[in-house]
Amino acid sequence: VILGFNLQKDVDILLKRHLHEKSVSKQTLQNYSMSSNTFGRGKKEYSQPEPTAQMISAKEKMLREISLRLRVQQQQWQDSPEGQKMLELRRSLPAYKERDALLKAISENQVVVVSGETGCGKTTQLPQYILESEIEAARGASCSLICTQPRRISAMSVSERVAAERGEQLGESVGYKIRLEGIKGKDTRLLFCTTGILLRRLLVDRDLRGVTHVIVDEIHERGMNEDFLLIVLKDLLPRRPDLRLILMSATLNAELFSSYFGGAPTLHIPGFTYPVRAHFLENILETTGYRLTSYNQIDDYGQEKVWKMQKQAQRKKKTQIASTVEDTLEAANFNRYSHWTRDSLSCWNPDSIGFNLIEHVLSHICKNERPGAVLVFMTGWEDINSLKDQLQSHPVLGDPSRVLLLACHGSMASSEQRLIFDRPPEGVRKIVLATNMAETSITINDVVFVVDCGKAKETSYDALNNTPCLLPSWISKAAARQRRGRAGRVQSGECYHLYPKCVYDAFSDYQIPELLRTPLQSLCLQIKSLDLGGVSEFLSKALQPPEPLSVQNAIDFLKVIGALDENENLTVLGQNLSVLPVEPKLGKMLILGAIFKCLDPVMTVVAGLSGRDPFMTPFDKKDLAESAKAQFSGREFSDHLTLIRAYEGWKHAERQQSGYEYCWTNFLSSQTLRAIDSLRKQFFSLLKDTGLVDTDNESRNKWSHDEHLVRAIICAGMFPGVCSVGNKERSITLKTMEDGQVLLYSNSVNAQEPKIPYPWLVFNEKIKVNSVFLRDSTAVSDSVLLLFGGNISRGRQDGHLKMLGGYLEFFMKPGLADIYLSLKRELEELIHCK
Ligand code: CDP
Ligand code: MG
């Protein structure tokens, strides 16, 4: 197969031919997603010949038998001593008082909205009430409940809890399903899954046949997937009058959802929480005797950070690092608490809530307060880790053996999770450092003290410049109240808000929905593949529709990568991308990797980009970690190729039983590498299902590892993420078409280079923090960009995204771009004539 001169077109032709040959149909695509036949009646049965009366009665008989068996099992458990104890515990939850009212409302209405304080029993009890009542009514065999969770960790922990409450193992009547894993069996009637999993199922089973109840949890968070799911379900309800939809929300803006569903009834579960005393900064200073001067908030941690960066900047004389130093110093100057007015919101800096204030409050609690766990809300994973390291290396909280310090964030391992819920031994104080995920979706029962920094890292999206931003921003009043409420679960509690009261007063009431602050590419692709009509029209039906410009940017992007054609129809490539559980451009890389027979290294890159970075940079060993990483980079000028080498080295070490040592000496996270490994396995089997990969080729050495080829595929996947490289005497200037000058994150291997002997860098992600930063990048040559960087048509002239022609025109001398383009055009014609 000749490929390469109009890559996009050729890939599409190839895929089309391929799909035709293998007659890969929707049936195969179905294998991609949660197989639906575990839910009573799956799709397969519908395509079978009409059943005879005899078959029907045999089936009914079987269903009746299963229902009776389920009822007996449930009754036996409830009558057992352990079951009795569990029931008693469950009955003490506030939701129990509303059980009958809830069930009645659900049986009488197609849509019901339920709200209630976190911990009142919505997630664990409500689905169970429905399941139990269905089983009691001998309808156990034909009911099928799906309860969606915004986060993987809550889907897992809740399903485990519910199974335990029913005296069962996971995978009996209760199961869960998240991206890489899941436990469910043939008897599973209640499935907890992430919202993404349900959306994926809708892709192949638009009517959710066999499902009787859909419960969408945590809708108040207004995640993009949840908002999207609500539009789809709203469309589905008239077609499935027997389907029941239950929406669950923690805070009290239930009316919004109720009116979205035409005035659906709302049920509120009255809360039971103990009073929590709120301390704001003024008051904390007074009670703890902490002295705040205008400059001391740039604490030891901050000082050290600035000092290290200055040292680095001197060493490398790099403008990008120097400017970060300036930013940080400027931040320090802003640190005045003298005017506690609304204006202070604008000059309040994320660093101003210094670690030493948090440490001070923690040590105050440890030394002076009654027993009880502490929950600290911080901005992000990096902060959590640095504080944890710092507290472990300088134990300011008293006897270290009496403090149990734990981190809690979205992607931690399940073994780590359990520790968070467990009660520590007598006399040991549990301190959990958490992101905002501990606000609503998980409940740690023994928390008595909450420390709230007032910020959360929130992605936002600058549609005008088509750039995602990730900045710590102030939380909403609703979130602050929610955080405070976490302290009153078992007894009255205390909440330390590390900001003045006037700052709280200036918070907005609720957080902005995610749909309005993220790029919409994956979502648009999904809308297209679900055949939901025009993207803009569909999204205009959302609770709060996104800006037209954001939608247009996403559509343009999908056109540039070849997922949509000029008429906004899904291409064959687009169809294939919509079923891969990664961002569209990463999916494209996988498909190209399969076509160009270099899937093995490409899978590593894609797995690495869709998860966490396996390279670790402990704060106190930054230089060592950097030089360990540099060993892998060689002279390739590529973060992606560096990752491939590190991963392959680890695989080799694993085979020699020295994987752990390898990770330790090279500052790699074995947990992340293992996650990459299992993602790779999943990619491989998905691609095998499409028929793009034949089974024989599984063995690793069948795939090319040619670095030129891999670099080209990386370029094809990353486009239009391109910036030009200008080597100056002392520094490197990087420019993208949209943002002008951009910088590299300091952990990129290219940030350590004094010169990059290539004209372009392709990158996966750019993010606006203070300036625009590129995360991972790979250097490529003109010819690679020309051949692999997308179509030559010039695209929308007024928009921000342009096709390759636009890029070349923008960056090259005028004549040169023309020569390149006509060369490419001629080559293309030549190939197609042949
Ligand atoms: O969803 P909601 O916030 O209303 O509450 P829930 O998650 O259903 O939790 C209800 C109660 O179950 C909590 O108060 C916890 O006491 C308990 N629970 C637990 O012990 N272990 C879990 N993994 C989840 C909940
Ligand atoms: Mg819940």
**158 CA closest ligand 1 atom index:** 23
Q: Mean pLDDT, the chain, as a whole number?
A: 80
**120 CA closest ligand 1 atom index:** 4
Q: Whose CA is nearest to atom 21 of ligand 1?
A: 161
Residue 337 pLDDT grade (very low, low, confident, very high; cuts 50, 70, 90):
very low
Q: What's the pLDDT at 169? A: 95
Least confidently predicted of 39-48, 462-471, 681-690, 822-831: 39-48
Residue scoring higher pLDDT (285 or 72): 72
**117 CA closest ligand 1 atom index:** 4
Q: Report d(CA 726, CA 378) in Å as an integer.
A: 38
Q: Is 120 in the pocket of ligand 1 (CB under 6 A)?
A: yes
Q: Is 445 in the pocket of ligand 1 (CB under 6 A)?
A: yes
Collapsing DSSP to helix, strand or coil, 478 comes out as helix
To the nearest 10 degrees (0 to 180), the angle between helices 99-108 and 122-136 is 70
Mean pLDDT of the 82-86 span: 96
pLDDT at residue 29 above 50?
Answer: no
pLDDT at residue 248 above 90?
Answer: yes
Burial 237-256 (b: 16+ CB within 10 A, else e): beebeebbbbbbbbbebbee
Pick the closest to residue 466 from 62, 834, 736, 178 (CA basis). Answer: 736
Q: CA 650 → CA 91, 622, 626, 674, 704, distances in Å?
A: 51, 21, 18, 10, 19
Highest mean pLDDT among 243-257, 787-801, 807-821: 243-257
To the nearest 10 degrees (0 to 180), the angle between helices 584-595 and 707-718 is 150
Phi/psi at 766 (5° precision): -120, 150
Tell me the residue length of the chain: 834
Q: Which ligand is nearest to the CA of 149?
A: 2
Mean pLDDT of the 13-19 span: 68
Q: Is 119 in the pocket of ligand 1 (CB under 6 A)?
A: yes
Rounded to whole angstroms, the maximal C-alpha distance in the chain is 85
- Half-sphere exposure at residue 259, Cβ-oriented, CA atoms within 13 angstroms: 5
pLDDT at residue 43 above 50?
Answer: no
Q: Which of 86, 124, 491 to mutate to test the pocket of ligand 1 (most atoms within 8 A of CB)?
A: 124
Collapsing DSSP to helix, strand or coil, 641 comes out as helix
pLDDT at residue 280 above 80?
Answer: yes
Q: Is 157 in the pocket of ligand 1 (CB under 6 A)?
A: yes
Q: Which residues lie closer than 8 Å to 660 by C-beta, 6 or more apart? A: 670
β-bridge partners, 268 = 115
* DSSP 8-state code for residue 751: G
Q: What's the pLDDT at 296? A: 34
Collapsing DSSP to helix, strand or coil, 696 comes out as helix
Q: What's the pLDDT at 460? A: 66
Q: How far is the CA of 712 from the centre of ligand 2 (A)?
A: 46
* DSSP 8-state code for residue 668: B
Q: What's the pLDDT at 582? A: 84
Highest mean pLDDT among 106-115, 310-319, 401-410: 106-115
Q: Which residues lie closer than 8 Å to 363 by C-beta, 6 or more apart? A: 396, 397, 398
Query: What pTM was estimated for this model as a whole?
Result: 0.72
The per-residue pLDDT for range 477-499, each reduced to its tens digit, is 888 988 998 898 888 999 999 88
Mean pLDDT of the 649-670 span: 91
Q: What's the pLDDT at 268? A: 92
Q: CA 545 → CA 433, 437, 541, 587, 777, distances in Å?
A: 35, 25, 7, 27, 34
- Beta carbons of 804 and 790 less than 8 angstroms apart: yes
Q: Whose CA is nearest to atom 22 of ligand 1?
A: 161
Helix (H), strand (E) at residue 222: none
Residue scoring higher pLDDT (793 or 97): 97
Cβ neighbours of 359 (radius 10 Å) = 19
Residue scoring higher pLDDT (425 or 595): 425
pLDDT at residue 242 above 80?
Answer: yes
pLDDT at residue 348 above 70?
Answer: no
Q: Report d(CA 223, CA 217) in Å as an integer.
A: 11
* DSSP 8-state code for residue 702: G
Whether the bond between 720 and the residue before it is cis, its omega within 30 degrees of 0, is yes
Strand runs labelled E in 694-739? 722-727, 732-736
Residue showing tokens 């007996």: 72
Pick the closest to residue 269 from 100, 450, 480, 496 (CA basis). Answer: 100
- Beta carbons of 97 and 271 less than 8 angstroms apart: no
Mean pLDDT of the 581-590 span: 89
Collapsing DSSP to helix, strand or coil, 796 comes out as coil
* One-letter-per-residue 3-state SS of 413-470: CHHHHHHHHCCCCCCCEEEEEECHHHCCCCCCCCEEEEEECCEEEEEEEECCCCEEEE
- Half-sphere exposure at residue 719, Cβ-oriented, CA atoms within 13 angstroms: 31
Residue 28 pLDDT grade (very low, low, confident, very high; cuts 50, 70, 90):
very low
> What is the identity of the amino acid at 657?
Q
Residue 800 pLDDT grade (very low, low, confident, very high; cuts 50, 70, 90):
very low
- Half-sphere exposure at residue 683, Cβ-oriented, CA atoms within 13 angstroms: 29
Residue scoring higher pLDDT (12 or 132): 132
Q: How far is the CA of 190 from the centre of ligand 2 (A)?
A: 16
Q: What's the pLDDT at 763? A: 94
The per-residue pLDDT for range 111-164, each reduced to its tens digit, is 999 998 888 899 999 999 999 999 999 999 999 999 999 888 889 989 999 999
- Beta carbons of 764 and 775 less than 8 angstroms apart: yes
174-177 sheet: strands from edge to edge:
182-183, 174-177, 190-194, 145-149, 213-216, 244-249, 111-116, 266-269
Q: Is 308 in the pocket of ligand 1 (CB under 6 A)?
A: no
Q: What's the pLDDT at 203? A: 76
Q: What DSSP line would sit under 282-330, residue for residue? A: HHHHHHHT----SSTTS-HHHHHHHHHHHHHHHHH--HHHHHHHHHHHH
Q: What's the pLDDT at 573? A: 86
β-bridge partners, 316 = none
Q: Which of 90, 114, 160, 161 to mutate to test the pocket of ligand 1 (most atoms within 8 A of CB)?
A: 161
Q: How far is the CA of 117 from the centre of ligand 2 (A)?
A: 9
The tokens describing 773, both together, are 């930063």
Q: Report d(CA 791, CA 802) in Å as an integer.
A: 10
Whether the bond between 371 and the residue before it is cis, its omega within 30 degrees of 0, is no
To the nearest 10 degrees (0 to 180), the angle between helices 639-655 and 599-610 is 100
Q: CA 361 → CA 374, 379, 494, 820, distances in Å?
A: 11, 17, 12, 63
The per-residue pLDDT for range 290-335, each reduced to its tens digit, is 655 433 333 333 444 444 554 555 554 443 433 443 343 333 333 3
Residue 612 pLDDT grade (very low, low, confident, very high; cuts 50, 70, 90):
confident
Q: Report d(CA 155, CA 143) in Å as an integer.
A: 20
Pick the closest to residue 546 from 562, 527, 561 (CA basis). Answer: 527
Q: What's the pLDDT at 810? A: 63
- Beta carbons of 800 and 466 less than 8 angstroms apart: yes
Q: What's the pLDDT at 142? A: 92
Residue scoring higher pLDDT (834 or 50): 50
Q: What's the pLDDT at 470? A: 65
Q: CA 86 → CA 91, 99, 421, distances in Å?
A: 9, 16, 18
End-to-end Cα distance, the chain: 12
Is this complex scored with an ipTM above 0.90?
A: yes
Q: What's the pLDDT at 414? A: 58
Q: Which ligand is nearest to the CA of 115?
A: 1
Residue scoring higher pLDDT (792 or 809): 809
Q: How far is the CA of 120 from the centre of ligand 1 (A)?
A: 7
pLDDT at residue 507 above 50?
Answer: yes
Residue 768 pLDDT grade (very low, low, confident, very high; cuts 50, 70, 90):
confident
The tokens describing 83, both together, are 């079951």
Mean pLDDT of the 27-54 span: 44
- Residue percentage of the chain with pLDDT more than 90: 34
Q: What's the pLDDT at 307? A: 46
Mean pLDDT of the 502-512 span: 81
To the nearest 10 degrees (0 to 180), the angle between helices 7-21 and 584-595 is 70
Pick the closest to residue 799 from 527, 545, 550 (CA basis). Answer: 550
Q: Report d(CA 495, CA 434) in Å as an integer.
A: 15
Residue 753 region by backbone torsions, left for phi larger than 0, else alpha for psi between -120 and 50, else beta? beta
pLDDT at residue 26 above 60?
Answer: no
Beta-strand pair 182-183/244-249: unpaired
β-bridge partners, 725 = 734
Phi/psi at 219 (5° precision): -70, -20
Mean pLDDT of the 742-754 span: 87
**269 CA closest ligand 1 atom index:** 4
Q: What's the pLDDT at 162? A: 97
Residue 511 pLDDT grade (very low, low, confident, very high; cuts 50, 70, 90):
confident
* DSSP 8-state code for residue 756: -
Least confidently predicted of 186-190, 777-781, 808-812: 808-812
- Residue percentage of the chain with pLDDT more than 70: 77
Handedness of CA 395, 398, 399, 401 (dihedral sign): negative
Residue 164's Cβ-count burial label (10 Å; 0-12, 13-18, 19+) is middle
Cβ neighbours of 367 (radius 10 Å) = 9
pLDDT at residue 353 above 80?
Answer: no
CA 282-284-286 angle, to 5 degrees, is: 75
Beta-strand pair 766-768/772-774: antiparallel
Q: What's the pLDDT at 524? A: 92
Q: Report d(CA 349, CA 299) in Å as an integer.
A: 13
Q: How far is the CA of 441 from the centre of ligand 2 (A)?
A: 5
